[in-house]
Amino acid sequence: MKSHIIALLIAVITCSSTDGRQFLDPQNGSQHHVYSDAFNESKVNVTQDSRHQPEYYGYDRPCPNAEDIAPCVCTYNSEDNAMDLDCSAVESEDQLKQIFKADFQFKNYRSFIMYANINIKVLEAGVFNGISFEQIVIQFSHLEIIELQALDSCYETAWKIDVCYNRITSFPFDELSHFPKLRYFAIGYNSLSMIPADAFNGLTALETLYLWDNHANIVGTFKDLPNLSGINLGYNNFSLTNNTIPTKYIKTGSSDLSYINLFGNNIVSVEPGAFDIVEGLVISMYGNALSTLEEATWRPYLEAQGYLSAEDNPLVCGCDIAWLFGEDQLLGQVYDDATCTDGERLIDLDPKIFDLC
């Protein structure tokens, strides 16, 4: 049962997707059918507060002339009073720049969308030409570089940046401090060589941080993220002494933190106090190099009714884990699939073998 819970958790915290269309992944030619809601996540009706009604409120057709922005497509949702711009079919960087020189009567859009585009390699500085977006979603494309100030028109508006499933080698992390409303940042499945953890520090609105599968060297620590609900660092590299997660490595200060995902990072040990201690926190250490579960490190999290996923680690299962079999039965907070080096699951061990410890 517990393993089913962790599988569900993994599914929930992956990159957000699109609006239910099918397309071929240009990375490998496989077909994807994605269902989620790049739009519906912003379903808060802007007309509920007259101070936030968009400038085009009440207009029947606020989008630019279709011919002027083709092959981009502008869609106006009258129910939400929101405009979305889909530029998936753009053929070159020059064409994209030219499109944003068209006559945009209104400057504030809900979403910029680009899916399965193999033509845009660089998102150039100032490309949006003053047009702002609340959500920037570029997925399953061949984007390699996002230049400094490419997103400058969105500093005050963007709450979501999702650029998963690209070929990104360069992103202007130093600019993240200019996005006070940023709640969702996802740059998983790219080719970054380095991710500066400090670039996220102080993003007080940030709720979800998804850095999965870049094989990047993560440098620095994560702190001062008071609204963070989840952080996904799986399949990366870390600039760590002896492959050990140090004290205060993830100290967000958030009471809403629900998961920390450190899949597949060759982590050998974790020092006490490395992470926030929050009731119900799930910490996944799946597929690392832990040989033991140190009591000083893990007891505080399990006592806080947190959960630990330790599957696929070379656990020795000696007296060092006897504390899990004490009267408080903290083993119940460790997911069932954790095994010793001989393949026996921790939950199947006879507690009597620890009587002499």
Q: Is the pLDDT of residue 293 over 50?
A: yes
Contact of 140 with 163, CB cutoff 8 Å: no
Q: Is the pLDDT of residue 43 over 90?
A: no
- As a whole number of Å, the end-to-end CA separation of the chain is 30
Give the CATH number for residue 123.
3.80.10.10
Degrees, nearest 5: CA angle 317-322-324: 100
Question: What is the pLDDT at residue 283?
Answer: 98
Q: Is the pLDDT of residue 22 over 80?
A: no
At residue 13 the predicted structure's pLDDT band, cuts being 50, 70 and 90, is low
Closest among 177, 238, 165 to 206, alpha carbons compared: 177
What gap in Å lies between CA 297 and CA 57, rounded to an integer?
54
User: Which range of residues forms the domain containing residue 308?
Assistant: 2-354
Degrees, nearest 5: CA angle 290-293-294: 120
Question: What is the pLDDT at residue 256?
Answer: 97
Q: Is the pLDDT of residue 5 over 60?
A: no
Closest among 94, 103, 99, 55 to 76, alpha carbons compared: 55
Render pLDDT for 316-338 as a digit per residue (tens, 0 to 9): 999 999 999 999 999 999 999 99
Render pLDDT for 204-225 as a digit per residue (tens, 0 to 9): 999 999 999 999 999 999 999 9
Q: Residue 315 has what DSSP assignment?
A: B
- Whether omega before 71 lies within 30 degrees of 0, making that bond cis, reads yes
At residue 46 the predicted structure's pLDDT band, cuts being 50, 70 and 90, is very low
- Count up the domains in the chain and report the number: 1
Strands 269-270 and 307-309, sheet pairing: unpaired
Return the beta strands (E) in 98-207 as ranges. 108-115, 122-123, 132-139, 145-146, 160-162, 184-186, 194-196
Burial 140-163 (b: 16+ CB within 10 A, else e): bbebbebeeebbbbbbebbbbbbb
